[in-house]
Structure 1
Amino acid sequence: MAIQTVLIAALLAVKGSAFALRTRSTNSTQPSVVDATYDGQCFYPKPAEDFDLSSYLGRWYQVAGTVAPFTAGCKCIRADYSLNANGTVNVLNGCELGGQEIKIQGTATAVPSSAGYGDEGVLIVQFPGQPAPDCPGPNYIVQDIGVGNGTEGCGGDASSDGAFAIVQSSKFSTLFLLSRQQSPSNTSIQAWLQRAGKLGSNLTEVVLTDQTGCQFA
């Protein structure tokens, strides 16, 4: 399977494919162009160049993102990542709905660099009883990691209390903005969402996560 690196414009209709990919720009007169990988079936965001799995493990709080079926209507969304003995990553997602705690556990498997999607930060996450991803490549791609108010870009320590991570899926269809802090400043959240938009995320479907009054996190 040949993997191609391409530039995606604001509205790209691919002949013979079943979808159109949209990315956004802060300038309405200038189409957003982002770097992406195409494997003949789907487009994939480019991952952060300095992703380190060991420092990425632990708890992250979803402070904004597109609504996923598991978290629809939820508050206090979080994810805990830990290393399994076989080298895969245990994924434990949790949230609160109507005063009840909801959990779902799955496995993340790193996609080898030889597959052509990137060297690190590209994984396939699967949950029991859930359908397999539509695309053959990674469905969990860490696009950027940093600290502070989002202006520094990648290069931050993912284990830092002030760290943020931008996570996207194949076809740029699902954004998760994660933070090590449960309630970072709105200024930081907005700065990182703006950065996610520049990296190809469609922010019209993004909502902020209520991380107040959490009973289980």
Structure 2
Amino acid sequence: MRKALVPLVLLGGTALLLSACMHMPVGNPTVPQPSKPVDLKAYAGLWYEIGRYENRFEKGCEAVTAQYSLRDDGLVQVVNSCRQGATDGPVKVSQGKAKIVENSQNAKLKVSFFGPFFVGDYWVLDRADDYSWSIVGEPRGKYLWILTRDPNPSESTRQGLMTRVKALGYDTALIRPTQH
């Protein structure tokens, strides 16, 4: 009985995960390739999320940050944090690692927060020349993050980023602003 139950539980869990992924709207059916190479040393450091496509693992998150650092083994250390429910809510932290995709000029990474079985695409679709902002997505067009080095960028910077996101083919109506 127990041997038969394990495959059933695994199958059910997989079905649940797939159904959750399928219900997310596609905000860009034709995601472009990254437009510029990425210098990982310049990209490393603290980023503030100023907007995103809502997703289940960031539900209710405010004051979202991402910290990237280079590891000795060639991987990128990723530490994401947010405050649950409000900018002063309890802190939630997720640590992961990313592997650079070959021949991507460091603009595509494979990120894992849950071991080798759950790996996600992380594409730096565009970025400022001075690394003051970054637009991140993945090939299915279901995820999007707008990142800046400043938690409260100017309104002109925000508008410029929204214009760029739209030019990349994303539905800006799906963007959820992040409070800091």
TM-score of the superposed pair, with normalisation by structure 1: 0.65
Whole-Å separation in 2 of the counterparts to 1:210 and 1:130: 32
Q: Would the aligned equivalents of 1:166 and 1:178 in 2 still touch at CA under 8 Å?
A: yes
Paired residue for 2:148, among 139, 159, 179? 179
Q: Specify the SS of the correspondent of 1:171.
A: coil
Alignment partner for residue 102 of structure 2, among 105, 112, 122?
A: 112
Distance change >3 Å, CA 23–CA 169, structure 1 → 2: closer
1:197 maps onto 2:170 in alignment: no
Deviations 1:136-164 (A, max 9, x none): xx710001111xxxxxxxxx122xxxx11
Which whole-Å deviations, capped at 9, do the CAs of 1:156-199 have from their partners, x for residues lacking one? 122xxxx1101011212211000000110122112102211111
Alignment-derived partner of residue 5 in structure 2: none
Q: Given the alignment of the two structures, is residue 92 of structure 1 paired with residue 82 of structure 2, yes or no? A: no
Count of residues in correspondence between the two structures: 154
Q: Find out whether 1:132 has 2:118 as its counterpart.
A: yes
Structure 1 residue ranges without an equivalent (≥5)? 1-17, 25-33, 35-43, 147-155, 212-217
The 5-angstrom pairing of residues 40-189 of structure 1 reads 45-98=32-85, 99-113=89-103, 118-128=104-114, 132-133=118-119, 139-146=121-128, 156-158=129-131, 163-189=132-158
Unmatched 5+ residue regions in structure 2?
A: 1-21
**Aligned-partner residue type, residue 189 of structure 1:** R
Q: CA deviation at 1:97?
A: 1.1
Give the TM-score taking structure 2 as reference length.
Answer: 0.77
User: 1:119 Cα deviation (Å)?
Assistant: 2.6
Structure with bigger helix share is 2
Change (3 A) 1:190 1:130: farther
- The two structures, once aligned, show a CA RMSD in angstroms of 2.3
Contact 1:49 1:120 in 2 (8 A): no
Distance 1:56 1:209, change over 3 A: same
Pick 1 or 2: higher relative contact order, CA cutoff 8 A, min separation 6: 2
